[in-house]
Amino acid sequence: MRSLLLALLTILLQSQEAFLVKPYLQLGDAPRPARNERLDLLWHAEDRDAAWTVEVRGGKGWIPQTAPSFRHLDVPPLPAHRIYRVTLRDLAPGAAMPYRVKQNDAVVFEAEAQARKPGAHRMIVFGDAADGSKRQAAIAQAIQAQHPDAVFITGDLVYGRGRAAEYRSVFFSCYNSEAVPLMRRVPFLGVPGNHDVPFSKHPDAAAYFAYWSQPLNGPALKAGDKNAAPVILGVHDAVVAASGAAFPRMASFSFDYGKVHWTVLDSNVYTDWESPALKVWLEADLKAAKTATWRIVALHHPLFQSSRAHFDDQWMRPISPILEKYGVDLVLAGHVHNYQRTAPLRFKPTKAGLRGKPVEGEFTVDEAYDGRAITRAKGPIHIVTGAGGAELYDLWQTDARASWQPWTRTFISDQHSFTVLDVDGRTLKLRQLDAEGRQLDGITLTK
Ligand SMILES: [Fe+2]
């Protein structure tokens, strides 16, 4: 017993020294399920040479993985550091696979990676979270207690400006900590919000592109393109260099988890989803998802919501007819710091989507769907789940029903919360839970 404790203590101490950010899992450029699943494992370490190896435990013992690669990120205020990356391969679908990281032959980290599940699974979704607050930490604890198979963040991943230094102080320090060791066990996915792209002159802004590893199957954008995240030459060069092929392409992508097809859209103001470059991709992506039972669109800026805050940020509304055409079931957004759910609805825009101006049109609302007795929806249901940690908006509207749009069915703005999606075959259950794990809202969808 004593020697076991000593061994654990040694790993802990060595691991403390070895990492600036401990290993965390990402889906990597693996959008579709496979017989041999894979996950990317990333970590940050000091900018000095060391012999790193990673092993996954298979049936016959520890299997060495290919050598990790790294990129430098040398931009103040953090000291220059390395972002290491390795792909864990041949993972059995749905299995929890033990893995370990060695530095100079000493084991410095051990955990278990949850490989993508082929069927029933639990995905947890929230947005607008990492601001270093106690609320963020409480929601993170509550999420861990729900044992997700994967986590999706609907943007505003890191406050205040998506900077590398902020990732270190408020993001990894929360979701990949000893108290909440989530990111080392399950992949986190996400979409950049307005706080995650380089709208600021901080040279370490837009660290999303360097620190995340997600599919590169989105619209084939290049730096400087009209629909790509704008960077300032001479300011953001280091982050762009550390991002490789991920910049700017990784801002939008799609992936499948179980029988759910996820279409993830960069909805920042510089994108125009009515332009052919983006629209053609969106249609093709949804059209190709023929074997999926469920279709989810995830983005930062909601199409339909009732909060006074950001009410006129409606520029994504014009894509609604495309989502309806291809049978999208759920649209998950953040940006607005509260929880909202609409009735299933269809929308025909009658006016173009000018930035910051209301987008008018005709609504067809499925009044019959109630999520309990009647569970087949006619049209997408729109969810705002932006209550993941940052300060809440429009608390008074929870009890002011008259202030809600006619198609809003639930509006909870006085509590932080997150969304649990349980998908099993032709049944999808959505529950909104608070930081104590209490259910605030719940609906069922069936096919
Ligand atoms: Fe936002």
- DSSP per-residue letters across 394-436: -GGGGG-GGGS-TTEEEEE-SS-EEEEEEEETTEEEEEEEETT
CATH homologous superfamily of 122-446: Metallo-dependent phosphatases (3.60.21.10)
| pLDDT of res. 395 | 96
Model pLDDT for residues 107-119, shown as the tens digit of each residue: 999 999 999 999 9
Whether 11 shows a pLDDT value over 70: the answer reads no
Domain boundaries, the chain: 2-114, 122-446
Place 430 in a pLDDT band, splitting at 50, 70 and 90: very high
Model pLDDT for residues 246-272, shown as the tens digit of each residue: 999 999 999 999 999 999 999 999 999
Smallest CA-to-CA distance from 356 within 306, 293, 311 is with 311
CA of 192 to the centre of ligand 1 (A): 9
The C-alpha atoms of residue 291 and residue 146 are separated, in whole angstroms, by 28
Place 356 in a pLDDT band, splitting at 50, 70 and 90: confident
Q: Kindly state the average pLDDT of the residues 290-318.
A: 97
Q: Kindly state the average pLDDT of the residues 322-326.
A: 98
CA of 385 to the centre of ligand 1 (A): 11
Whether 193 shows a pLDDT value over 80: the answer reads yes
Q: Kindly state the average pLDDT of the residues 414-427.
A: 98
Place 198 in a pLDDT band, splitting at 50, 70 and 90: confident
Whether 224 shows a pLDDT value over 60: the answer reads yes
Location of structure tokens 């298979």? 58
CA of 280 to the centre of ligand 1 (A): 26
Whether 13 shows a pLDDT value over 60: the answer reads no
Decide if 61 contacts 29 (C-beta within 8 A): no
Say whether the peptide bond before residue 248 is cis (omega within 30 degrees of 0): yes
Q: Which long-range contacts (CB under 8 A, 24 or more apart) does 63-66 make?
A: 63/90, 65/89
- pTM tops 0.85: yes
Fold of 2-114: Immunoglobulin-like (2.60.40)
Model pLDDT for residues 124-152, shown as the tens digit of each residue: 999 999 999 999 999 999 999 999 999 99
Q: To the nearest whole number, what is the mean pLDDT of the chain? A: 95
Decide if 347 contacts 360 (C-beta within 8 A): no
CA of 339 to the centre of ligand 1 (A): 14
Share of the chain above pLDDT 90, in %: 93
The C-alpha atoms of residue 225 and residue 251 are separated, in whole angstroms, by 13
CA of 195 to the centre of ligand 1 (A): 6
Query: By mean pLDDT, which of 44-58, 242-256, 352-366, 412-426 is the weakest?
Result: 352-366
Whether 4 shows a pLDDT value over 70: the answer reads no
Q: Are strands 427-434 and 260-265 parallel, antiparallel or unpaired?
A: unpaired
Whether 333 shows a pLDDT value over 80: the answer reads yes
CA of 147 to the centre of ligand 1 (A): 27
Whether 86 shows a pLDDT value over 70: the answer reads yes
How many other CB atoms are found less than 10 A from the CB of residue 402?
5
Asked if domains 2-114 and 122-446 share a fold, the reply is no
CA of 76 to the centre of ligand 1 (A): 25
The C-alpha atoms of residue 92 and residue 95 are separated, in whole angstroms, by 5
Share of the chain above pLDDT 70, in %: 96
Place 382 in a pLDDT band, splitting at 50, 70 and 90: very high
Say whether the peptide bond before residue 77 is cis (omega within 30 degrees of 0): yes
How many other CB atoms are found less than 10 A from the CB of residue 3?
7
CA of 388 to the centre of ligand 1 (A): 12
The C-alpha atoms of residue 8 and residue 20 are separated, in whole angstroms, by 19
Whether 212 shows a pLDDT value over 90: the answer reads yes
| pLDDT of res. 415 | 98
- Residues with Cβ within 8 Å of residue 268, at least 6 apart in sequence: 192, 193, 194, 197, 229, 251, 300, 301
Place 351 in a pLDDT band, splitting at 50, 70 and 90: confident
Whether 9 shows a pLDDT value over 90: the answer reads no
Assigned token pair, 368 = 């019959």
Say whether the peptide bond before residue 218 is cis (omega within 30 degrees of 0): no
CA of 335 to the centre of ligand 1 (A): 4
The C-alpha atoms of residue 81 and residue 235 are separated, in whole angstroms, by 18
Phi and psi at residue 315, to the nearest 5°: -70, -10
Assigned token pair, 209 = 């592109």
CA of 107 to the centre of ligand 1 (A): 40
Place 16 in a pLDDT band, splitting at 50, 70 and 90: low
The C-alpha atoms of residue 299 and residue 327 are separated, in whole angstroms, by 17
Smallest CA-to-CA distance from 282 within 325, 247, 314 is with 325
Angle, CA 401 vertex, CA 334 and CA 306 arms, to 5°: 30
CA of 338 to the centre of ligand 1 (A): 12
Rg, Å, the chain Cα set = 21
| pLDDT of res. 15 | 61
| pLDDT of res. 14 | 60
- Residues with Cβ within 8 Å of residue 5, at least 6 apart in sequence: none
CA of 114 to the centre of ligand 1 (A): 29
Buried b / exposed e along 83-122 (16+ C-beta atoms within 10 A): bbbbbbeebeebeebebbbbbeeebbbbbebbbbbbeebb
CA of 73 to the centre of ligand 1 (A): 26
Fill in the amino acid letter for 320.
S
- Residues with Cβ within 8 Å of residue 43, at least 6 apart in sequence: 19, 21, 22, 23, 24, 83, 84, 101, 109
Smallest CA-to-CA distance from 50 within 81, 4, 76 is with 81
